[in-house]
Amino acid sequence: MATPTRAIFSSSPRIFFNHTPYTLATLSHFNIGLLKKNRHYNRCCCYRFNRSVAELRSPDLVAFEYAELNLKEKVSEAGHVRIRQHVNPLSASLTIPVQVPNWNEVYGDSTLPLMVDIGSGSGRFLIWLAKRFPESNYLGLEIRNKLVSRAQFWVKELAFNNVHFMFANAMVSFEQLVSSYPGPLVLVSILCPDPHFKKRHHKRRVLQKPLVDSILKNLHPGGRVFLQSDVVEVALDMRNRFDSQSDMLEHITDIDPSVLCDNEGWLLSNPMGIRTEREIHAESEGAKVYRRMYQRRI
């Protein structure tokens, strides 16, 4: 694996990863402290709009939170996207593994650290990160093709060469995609996955044992896993799968005592600096979002 050389937050006072080949320079944009500051900044900026924001509908809240990407008019250029509510990831057409792309054609520099968002939805979240933290690459895996097409349309419009979306079932294609990527895998997120409430549909939930094993196998030492759901049962299901890997993973609150969680061990805030769309919708309806972040032991 090549070692990325340039720093993202080289001025950060907090060095978590200085004893790994991929120092803070490569992983630091996932530095909780900085992201908390970032979030604080967002909150301050939003403060004076708070009253009017409180009156916005949920889709408007998404547009507001992602305003700096200026994607709104690009939606209409791409055409209105009608999205099916749920897709069955176990349907025959979705169980065919995708072809691994030539990573050198996908990214400007395919040796940069990689973040993978499983079930990337509209893609706004990853596009925002790609803009804010350009010295990493971002890969969104999504089984609703129309969302992938629109996200790729936005990426092209913005001329970003560090973010890419694939129509891919993570249950089927995650392993071959990440194991073929030339750089280190530094962050995997599964954010508000489809809950598939019925017991007989639990097997459709994206996070099953083979995916956990593949994440652990490919995650670089010091790399992180971020999970969240507004459905406590789903959050607990994901949490149990990673809590049981304590020989390989530590929860972030055990590494950095300044990161706070409630007395049940859920993070008090989103450490990424921006909320996902599902998270915005859920919080606008007063729901709690249950979050965990793990780091692979070095």
Residues within the interface to ligand SAM (CB under 6 A): 87, 89, 118-119, 121, 141-144, 169-171, 191-194, 206, 276-279
CB of 174 to ligand SAM, least distance (A): 8
CB nearer ligand SAM, residue 163 or residue 170: 170
Q: Pick between residue 192 and residue 225 the one whose CB is nearest to ligand SAM.
A: 192
**Closest approach of ligand SAM to the CB of residue 144, in Å:** 4
Structure tokens of 88? 């069955």
CB closer to ligand SAM, 29 vs 204: 204
Closest contact distance (angstroms) between CB of 19 and ligand SAM is: 32
Separation CA 285–CA 161 (nearest Å) = 35
Q: What is the DSSP secondary structure assignment for residue 133, as one 8-state letter?
A: -
Dihedral angle, C-alpha 156, 159, 163, 169, nearest 10 °: 10
Whether the CB-CB separation of 292 and 271 falls below 8 Å is answered with no
Which CB sits closer to ligand SAM, 89 or 184? 89
Neighbours of 11 (CB within 10 A): 7
CB 276 within 8 A of CB 193: no
Q: Which is nearer to ligand SAM, 25 or 141 (CB)?
A: 141
Active-site residue 194, yes or no? Answer: yes
CA distances from 193 to 29, 202, 237, 254, 277 (A): 23, 12, 11, 25, 12
- Which is the catalytic residue, given 60, 109, 117, 194? 194
Residue nearest ligand SAM, CB atom distance: 119
Sheet strands (E) in 199-244: 219-229
**What's the CA angle centered on 139, arms 197 and 34, to 5 degrees?**
90
CB of 200 to ligand SAM, least distance (A): 17
Residue 84 CB, nearest approach to ligand SAM (Å): 8
The Cα angle at residue 132 between residues 131 and 136, in degrees rounded to 5: 75
Burial class (CB in 10 A: 0-12, 13-18, 19+), 22: buried
Q: DSSP 3-state assignment of 166?
A: strand
> Shortest distance, CB of residue 99 to ligand SAM, whole angstroms?
16
**Active-site residue numbers?**
194
